Structure 1
Amino acid sequence: MADLTTIILTYNEELNIEECIKSVNNISKRIIVIDSFSNDRTVEIARKLGAEVIQNKFVNHAKQFKFGLDASNIDTQWIFRIDADERLTKESAEEIDRLCNQNKDTDINGIIIRLEVNFLGKKLRHGGIYPIKVLRVFKHGIGNVEARNMDEHIILSHGKTMELKNDSLHNDYKDLSSWIDKHNKYSSREMMDYFENLSNTDNVENLNKSAKTKRIIKFKIYYKLPLGLRSLIYFIYRYFFKLGFLDGKEGLIFAVLQAFWYRFLVDSKIYEKNKKIVRTKERVEGGK
């Protein structure tokens, strides 16, 4: 077994948490659930499966994960962050275990996992969705999380990364209403992230290649397009140019919701915030 601690962030994840914990159990010396005061059976299930549970009020994922790092008294060499709706396969778990053991004393300080998204019971293999590549396994004291409201990534202070060959799974078994509710909250945090980071878009050097590319495209290209038009361009790119239509009805639903609901909702909240800024400025100037 690798010298590894797994941290899982949860809120009302009773449908997902059991399979998530079981998927990492054989490679984790400790499994720590940082729970945002769930009101379902998440905590009960996690503890029954042997996980440690620490509860903390949720602000955003970055702060919650940072809290988990600070509050857990971690003494293992490696740390693995996994979301409750994600799970390792037998092959990806064995690969993580092997790479952690092989790189105890090397300059490989981070491991990038590959996620295959399952949406409405279908694996999405097109539309630029597959595979999602994220740095999730890192050596204790070398990796940390970005202080962002949304789209936060783990960054390394030094060293190299390597990528798994085997896929892990992103299988959210909740319904579309839950998906919409979650992404409504995401859109508010992404709006905040937009205003906080629009003028600070060059700090990407410590990100892995996939995260760096996406960050540059988002702030250097996507947000430079006209508000309202960019969600249409996003849909055309994902659904047609990246062949999202090959994923059938599920691919269509996913592309429409991502572009014309989520991305457009982010744009609408940015527009709303800008109007409030203008009104506030006008009131201040009018009061002079």
Structure 2
Amino acid sequence: MPSITVQILTYNEEQHIERAINSVKSFASQVVLIDSYSTDKTVELAESMGAIVLQNKWHNNYARQLNWGLDNAPITGEWVMRLDADEYVTPELAEEIKNKINHIEANINGIYMRRRIHFAGKWMKHGATYPMWMLRLWRKDYGKCENRWMDEHIVLSTGETIRFDNDFVDDNLNSLTWWTTKHNHYATREAADLLNHKYKFMASDTRDDEDKEQAMFKRWLKENIYTKTPLFVRPFFYFFYRYIIRLGFLDGWRGLQWNFLQGLWYRFLVDAKIYEVESKIKDAKDKCLAVETVVIAEWGLKPPRAN
């Protein structure tokens, strides 16, 4: 079987890391952690399970950290798989990888897999949440992560892609307080991306318009339709679409929490941050420069392509 390196980014993930590593043991020839100087037992646990751990300072940019790992880790696998610390591979997907990876045609350089999201212990099957197809396995040296603040994906330099049939699972075990704090940070980065889409104050990576994969289609909808809908109106439309039209209510009370928090509260918070910035810069002569100053000086976000 071709060798596979699984790369995981971590910061204080002692609650998840053993589950993640155990889920890939049956097919991974190597597990590499790119750790942002965890202060808990993440590194100790990972090393005890045979993982290689490199540490690199976090700069508010997932893509930069992942690409740093691709460039600096001693990767030995012919294939590389990206896995978040709070994710795990289902036994069915692990078996599929083992059975199929040896028979991939030479022109195939990337493999899409379905992501399941669990929220408060329940699988969110409705509300346009499942399935989400993501490119998570690619031939070494053929894939990089887009340099964006949010909504970043793996991009292939060349080659075709295929889809596997089974799922990996996103199941964070932290508290709701932790979740809302994390999404507050996400909202800042999302607002920066949307402001950049409008004012074009920094260069960031974009995908080819010919790419019709699901994630790219959703980005197209966001950048060409969602962004043209008025602030503070669009989160309510989005919630209605997910919860009513796409049947999010079928996931019960947890489905209501998930769609309200992730589909309405989070999106409203993003709009509030955008509104705050645009209120500050309304009298600025050079609005692009003014927005860039807020994003870098006040929000502390480095440019997506910064070294």
Shared fold per TM-score greater than 0.5: yes
Identical columns (%)? 44
CA RMSD of aligned residues (A): 2.0
Question: May I ask how many residue pairs the two structures share in their alignment?
Answer: 283
2:255 matched to which residue of 1? Answer: 251
Give 1:94 shift: 1.6
TM-score scaled by length of structure 2: 0.87
Q: Contact conserved, 2:30 with 2:76, CA < 8 A, in 1?
A: no
Q: Contact conserved, 2:146 with 2:206, CA < 8 A, in 1?
A: no
Q: Distance in 2 between matches of 1:168 and 1:108?
A: 20
TM-score scaled by length of structure 1: 0.93
Q: Distance in 1 between matches of 2:77 and 2:212?
A: 23
2:116 matched to which residue of 1? Answer: 116
**Is 1:88 aligned to 2:95, yes or no?**
no
Q: Contact conserved, 1:88 with 1:168, CA < 8 A, in 2?
A: yes
2:106 matched to which residue of 1? Answer: 106
Deviates more, 1:230-239 or 1:169-178: 169-178
1:1-288 paired onto structure 2 within 5 Å: 1-59=1-59, 60-103=61-104, 106-198=106-198, 203-205=207-209, 207=211, 209-281=213-285
Q: Deviations over 1:77-122 (max 9, x none)?
A: 110000011101111012123332212x521110111111111011
Q: Structure 1: which 5+ runs fail to align?
A: none
Q: Contact conserved, 1:78 with 1:100, CA < 8 A, in 2?
A: no
Change (3 A) 1:201 1:142: closer
Q: Distance in 1 between matches of 2:139 and 2:196?
A: 29
Q: Contact conserved, 1:116 with 1:124, CA < 8 A, in 2?
A: yes
Q: Contact conserved, 1:3 with 1:76, CA < 8 A, in 2?
A: yes
Q: Contact conserved, 2:148 with 2:205, CA < 8 A, in 1?
A: no
Q: Deviations over 1:143-194 (max 9, x none)?
A: 1110101110001122111111112211111111111111111111111112
Q: Contact conserved, 1:155 with 1:207, CA < 8 A, in 2?
A: no
Q: Distance in 2 between matches of 1:11 and 1:156?
A: 27
Q: Contact conserved, 1:110 with 1:139, CA < 8 A, in 2?
A: yes
Q: Distance in 1 between matches of 2:263 and 2:170?
A: 20
Q: Contact conserved, 1:37 with 1:55, CA < 8 A, in 2?
A: yes
Q: Distance in 1 between matches of 2:51 and 2:206?
A: 39
Q: Distance in 2 between matches of 1:178 and 1:207?
A: 35
Change (3 A) 1:207 1:180: farther
Q: Stretches of 4+ moved more than 4 A in 1?
A: 199-202
Q: Contact conserved, 1:16 with 1:173, CA < 8 A, in 2?
A: yes
Residue type of the alignment partner of 1:78: W
Q: Alignment partner of 1:83: what SS?
A: coil
Give 1:207 shift: 4.6
Q: Contact conserved, 1:201 with 1:216, CA < 8 A, in 2?
A: no
